[in-house]
């Protein structure tokens, strides 16, 4: 007996979710150690400021979030696509008479 084929919409959604998770994981694996190593146990004299932020905040939070936003926008515009979900079901009234499904 052959296995049923996977729905292409599900396959596409799963692939997109994996990419988003990997972007999140990369940000986590960079941000948490960087902020821990550079934000704690520092003397006040060693603090430098970049655009008004302490250097560890700028390079540990602001910069990676900016990169994540740019990568996510690129991914969303270039690789994510609308899939045909099939025929739309007819509108039905619910028990409150509000419509919907």
Q: Where are the domains of the chain?
A: 49-82
- Helix/strand/coil for 53: strand
Question: Do the Cβ atoms of 68 and 27 come closer than 8 Å?
Answer: yes
Condensed to tens digits (0 to 9), the pLDDT of residues 57-77 reads 999 999 999 999 999 999 888
Condensed to tens digits (0 to 9), the pLDDT of residues 16-55 reads 899 999 999 999 999 999 999 988 888 888 888 899 989 9
Q: Residue 82 — pLDDT band, cuts 50, 70, 90?
A: confident
Question: Where would I find the beta strands (DSSP E) of 12-88?
Answer: 49-50, 53-54
């Amino acid at each position: 007996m052959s296995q049923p084929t996977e729905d292409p919409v599900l396959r596409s959604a799963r692939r997109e979710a994996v990419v988003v998770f990997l972007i999140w994981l990369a940000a986590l694996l960079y941000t948490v150690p960087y902020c821990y190593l550079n934000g704690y146990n520092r003397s006040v004299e060693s603090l430098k400021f970049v655009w008004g932020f302490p250097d560890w905040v700028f390079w540990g939070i602001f910069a990676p979030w900016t990169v994540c936003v740019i990568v996510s926008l690129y991914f969303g515009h270039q690789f994510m696509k609308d899939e045909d979900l099939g025929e739309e079901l007819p509108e039905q009234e619910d028990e409150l008479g509000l419509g919907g499904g």
